[in-house]
């Protein structure tokens, strides 16, 4: 596999790898490092890439594992879950602030979810992977993935309803 073939395979999902790394690691720099490390590992093993049915799913699994390793390492003891992949249309300043506040609330609620639910909601609702791919990436059965996603969404929904109905009888 030459360089152009490699880039043709890897570049389409590079941004997804970055977003997952960004979801799991604290800073943009850490996510960029994780993305670069993943691409380097894939390049080192480019001769084996043809053996994988879904290189993208494999790369996402590698990214998840790399990020978990970084979070467990002593160097990364100050890393926390962060995500800022929200883009908005041109709107008034009031609406922008309101939207940003809502997005921040959702991010904070996602941070409080159990690890599996964080990963699954990122892969499904942000990256829009299908359930079969998510099952392979997180090494879970489809039913378990659906239950974890449902619980994550329900938790977020209930917490948002509590915040919005605060003080209302």
Model confidence at 147: pLDDT above 60: yes
Between residues 77 and 32, the one the model is more confident about? 32
Q: How far apart are the first and last CA of the chain?
A: 65
- Report the mean per-residue pLDDT for the chain: 82
Q: Return the CATH number of the domain spanning residue range 86-169.
A: 1.10.10.10
Q: Residues 68, 101: contact at Cβ < 8 Å?
A: no
Is the pLDDT at 159 greater than 50? The verdict is yes
Instruction: Determine the pLDDT at residue 35.
Output: 93
Q: Is the pLDDT of residue 37 over 70?
A: yes
Q: With contact defined as beta carbons under 8 Å apart, do 104 and 64 qualify? A: no
Dihedral through CA 86, CA 57, CA 140, CA 123, nearest 10?
10
- Is the pTM for the entire model greater than 0.75? no
- The verdict on domain 1-82 having CATH code 1.20.120 is no
Q: What's the confidence (pLDDT) of residue 80?
A: 47
Q: Where are the alpha helices (DSSP H) in the chain?
A: 3-24, 28-44, 55-72, 93-112, 115-121, 131-138, 142-164
**Bigger pLDDT: 75 vs 37:** 37
Q: Looking at residue 120, what is its pLDDT?
A: 92
- Residue 127 — very low, low, confident or very high, per pLDDT cuts 50/70/90? confident
pLDDT in tens, 64-106: 888 888 887 745 455 444 444 444 445 567 777 777 777 888 8
Residues of the chain with CATH 1.10.1740: 1-82
More confident residue, 75 or 23: 23
């Amino acid at each position: 596999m030459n360089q152009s073939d490699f880039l043709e395979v890897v570049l389409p999902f590079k941004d997804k790898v970055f977003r997952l790394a960004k979801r799991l690691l604290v800073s943009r720099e850490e996510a960029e490092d994780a993305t670069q490390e993943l691409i380097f590992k894939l390049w080192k093993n480019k001769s084996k890439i043809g053996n994988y049915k879904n290189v993208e799913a494999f790369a996402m699994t590698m990214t998840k594992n790399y990020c978990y390793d970084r979070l467990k390492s002593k160097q990364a003891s100050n890393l926390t879950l962060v995500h800022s992949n929200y883009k908005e249309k041109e709107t008034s300043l009031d609406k922008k602030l309101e939207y940003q506040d809502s997005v921040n609330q959702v991010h904070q609620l996602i941070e409080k979810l159990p690890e599996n639910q964080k990963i699954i909601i990122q892969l499904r609702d942000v990256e829009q992977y299908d359930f079969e791919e998510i099952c392979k990436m997180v090494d879970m059965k489809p039913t378990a993935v659906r239950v974890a996603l449902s619980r994550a969404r329900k938790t977020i929904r209930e917490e948002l309803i509590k915040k919005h109905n605060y003080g209302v009888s």
